Amino acid sequence: MTAVDWHVPNALARLSAPVFVTLAGVLDEPSIPVISHAFDNALRWRPMTVLLKLSDVTAVHSSVLDALLVIAHRAALCEARLVTVAALGEPAHRAIDDAGLSQRLSLYPTLAVALETLAIGAPGSLVHASESV
């Protein structure tokens, strides 16, 4: 089972504050439509950054990596950037790194490092929504 959470900034900060999408559990082929739906919802806010948190992911299938590349491309078409966060040694970090996709998916080891490096800053008031398969 895959759990997906997304956090969207309040309406006043929706263009500059990042939108957070958190994935958890096993990311396999059947979870791709749920992941895609979460990103579609995130992109509706027209954020400059969609921040993908993968800290609670336990396994990643290669088909999901392909889907994340498509999502990164969709984000770019919407003039947004996709940033991924997964701790060193965790399954998601290893899968992305082993596939040679660290740069293409803008992989960072912690949320703090990603926010500091990208000069995003901490998000303001957030609305939380979740969905699971």
* Range of the structural domain that residue 46 is part of: 2-120
Q: What angle do CA 104, 70, 11 make, to 5 degrees?
A: 90
Q: What angle do CA 126, 128, 132 make, to 5 degrees?
A: 155
Asked if residue 129 is part of any domain, the answer here is no
DSSP 3-state percent helix, strand, coil across the chain (nearest 5): 35, 30, 30
Instruction: Indicate the pTM of the whole model.
Output: 0.78
- The pLDDT of residue 90: 94
Asked if residue 125 is part of any domain, the answer here is no
Asked if residue 132 is part of any domain, the answer here is no
User: Is 111 in contact with 85 (CB distance < 8 Å)?
Assistant: yes
Asked if residue 42 is part of any domain, the answer here is yes
Asked if residue 8 is part of any domain, the answer here is yes
The pLDDT tens digits for 45-68 are 888 899 999 999 999 999 999 999
Asked if residue 128 is part of any domain, the answer here is no
- Per-residue confidence at 125, pLDDT binned at 50, 70, 90? very low
Beta bridge partners of 127: 8
- The pLDDT of residue 117: 87
